[in-house]
């Protein structure tokens, strides 16, 4: 009972790392004595900063706590390698920890059980499993990047009850409520990068940054732009602290130079049709340490992602509104059989202001 309660508390701490720790996983740690008294606690900080275990050890030291024989409750295997920081398993051993309760094995090949092995070799009891499902769900993007070498792809859309994201003339502001838009920014903030298409850039000139909720960092921005039509004066270049990656099939040196002068990183990834190779783009984003990719694009790019079965999850804000003819969520081409449609499993449906937020997942997309 104590183990279950304290790992739940560690998971609550891990959620505080959302939007902060990327590209590192969101991890929480609680140090407690045998009676369940908390001696120290912490969560993962910015990349290059302390991990959850080190933060908890520092908190315990500030409290003057004796950690000899204490239990560390941590939501992911303590790391065993020298990356941006030192090995957390060694820090726990040095502190005199007697027992570690961890939710999951770290999928990073540089760890992958080695942290547990070093703890056991030092005589520390290791229990693995409590909180596993919640911890994996919290870090689904990190697990995806490690196992599939591609980010977890979440497509966001705001639509009317009849599935329209805009009128035929392009007007879309605003179909959903201020509450829904703020909630959407919270999901935007947790991503490693936002993905959009050049059509959205040219039609709406969006910033695609996080403004409606507090965030310690701005997610990077990726633009699919086969012909390098992104205007150099686009507002997306006016957001400090993030990188702008433009994926293209064009070899136009003049246009590339103009975009690079604005700070863009232009990445040629043509496929055989002269379009951007979308699977290769996802692999490249994983190499750039993007765990969660938040898609906010028009029907054409959304349709291409759906058609190529590259979407893992749909985040839909639905307004109690009927618009009639207009633009849809994803233009993936006409089907001739119902069974060819992309069927989703609804995981969550909750009111957000006057609207409904639906989170629906492609069955099997999380099996990796």
pLDDT higher than threshold 80 for residue 208 = yes
The two three-digit tokens of residue 349, written as one number: 């449906």
Distance between CA atoms of residues 215 and 309, nearest Å: 31
- Average per-residue pLDDT in the chain? 94
pLDDT higher than threshold 70 for residue 320 = yes
The two three-digit tokens of residue 285, written as one number: 């984003």
Q: pLDDT tens digits for 106-135? A: 999 988 899 999 999 999 999 999 999 999
Q: Among 235, 158, 238, which Cα is nearest to 204's?
A: 235
pLDDT higher than threshold 90 for residue 279 = yes
Is 53 in the active site?
yes
The predicted model gives 96-104 an average pLDDT of: 95
Distance between CA atoms of residues 368 and 366, nearest Å: 6
The predicted model gives 233-240 an average pLDDT of: 96
Distances 110 to 17, 107, 228, 279, 282 between C-alpha atoms, Å: 22, 8, 38, 25, 22
Local confidence band at 161 (pLDDT 50, 70, 90 cut-offs): very high
pLDDT higher than threshold 70 for residue 84 = no
Residue 200: per-residue pLDDT? 94
Of the chain, the percentage scoring pLDDT greater than 90 comes to 86
pLDDT higher than threshold 80 for residue 345 = yes
pLDDT higher than threshold 80 for residue 83 = no
Ramachandran angles phi, psi of 38, nearest 5°: -75, 125
Distances 98 to 72, 79, 93, 123, 335 between C-alpha atoms, Å: 8, 17, 8, 8, 60
Distance between CA atoms of residues 312 and 303, nearest Å: 13
pLDDT higher than threshold 80 for residue 81 = no
Residue scoring higher pLDDT (321 or 86): 321
Ramachandran angles phi, psi of 261, nearest 5°: -65, -25
Of the chain, the percentage scoring pLDDT greater than 70 comes to 99
Q: pLDDT tens digits for 143-159? A: 999 999 999 999 999 99
Residue 47: per-residue pLDDT? 85
The answer, as to whether pTM is greater than 0.75, is yes
Residue 341: per-residue pLDDT? 85
Contact status, residue 135 vs residue 104, Cβ threshold 8 Å: yes
Local confidence band at 58 (pLDDT 50, 70, 90 cut-offs): very high
The predicted model gives 329-352 an average pLDDT of: 89
Look at 41-55, 83-97, 228-242 and tell me which has the smallest mean pLDDT: 83-97
3-state SS class at 134: helix
pLDDT higher than threshold 70 for residue 136 = yes
Distance between CA atoms of residues 107 and 113, nearest Å: 9
Residue scoring higher pLDDT (333 or 282): 282
The predicted model gives 200-228 an average pLDDT of: 96
What is the C-alpha radius of gyration for the chain, rounded to an integer number of angstroms?
A: 23
Selected catalytic residue, list 9, 22, 53, 260:
53
């Amino acid at each position: 009972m104590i183990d279950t309660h304290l790992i739940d508390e560690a998971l609550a701490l891990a959620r505080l790392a959302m939007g902060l720790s990327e590209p590192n996983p969101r991890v929480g740690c609680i140090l407690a004595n045998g009676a369940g008294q908390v001696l120290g606690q912490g969560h993962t900080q910015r990349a290059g900063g302390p991990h959850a275990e080190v933060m908890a050890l520092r908190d315990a030291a500030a409290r003057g706590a004796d950690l000899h024989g204490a239990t560390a409750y941590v939501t992911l295997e303590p790391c065993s390698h020298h990356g941006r920081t030192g090995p957390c398993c060694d820090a726990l051993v040095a502190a005199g920890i007697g027992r570690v309760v961890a939710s999951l094995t770290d999928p990073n090949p540089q760890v992958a059980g080695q942290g547990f092995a070093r703890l056991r070799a030092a005589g520390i009891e290791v229990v693995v499993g409590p909180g596993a499902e919640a911890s994996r769900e919290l870090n689904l993007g990190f697990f995806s990047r490690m196992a599939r070498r591609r980010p977890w792809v979440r497509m966001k859309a705001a639509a009317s009850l009849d599935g329209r994201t805009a009128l035929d003339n392009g007007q879309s502001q605003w179909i959903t409520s201020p509450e829904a838009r703020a909630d959407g920014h919270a999901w935007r903030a947790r991503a490693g990068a936002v993905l959009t298409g050049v059509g959205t850039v040219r039609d709406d000139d969006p910033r695609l940054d996080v403004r409606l909720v507090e965030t310690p960092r701005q997610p990077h921005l990726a633009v699919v732009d086969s012909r390098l039509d992104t205007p150099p004066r686009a507002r997306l270049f006016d957001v400090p602290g993030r990188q702008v990656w433009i994926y293209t099939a064009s070899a136009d040196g003049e246009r590339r130079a103009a975009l690079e002068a604005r700070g863009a990183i232009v990445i040629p990834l043509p496929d055989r049709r002269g379009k951007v190779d979308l699977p290769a783009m996802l692999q490249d984003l994983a190499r750039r340490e993007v765990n969660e990719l938040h898609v906010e694009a028009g029907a054409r790019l959304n349709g291409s992602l759906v058609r190529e079965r590259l979407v893992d999850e749909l985040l839909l804000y639905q307004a109690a509104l009927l618009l009639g003819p207009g633009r849809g969520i994803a233009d993936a081409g006409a089907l001739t059989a119902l069974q060819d449609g992309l069927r989703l499993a609804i995981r969550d449906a909750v009111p957000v202001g006057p609207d409904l937020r639906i989170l629906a997942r492609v069955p099997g997309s999380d099996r990796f």
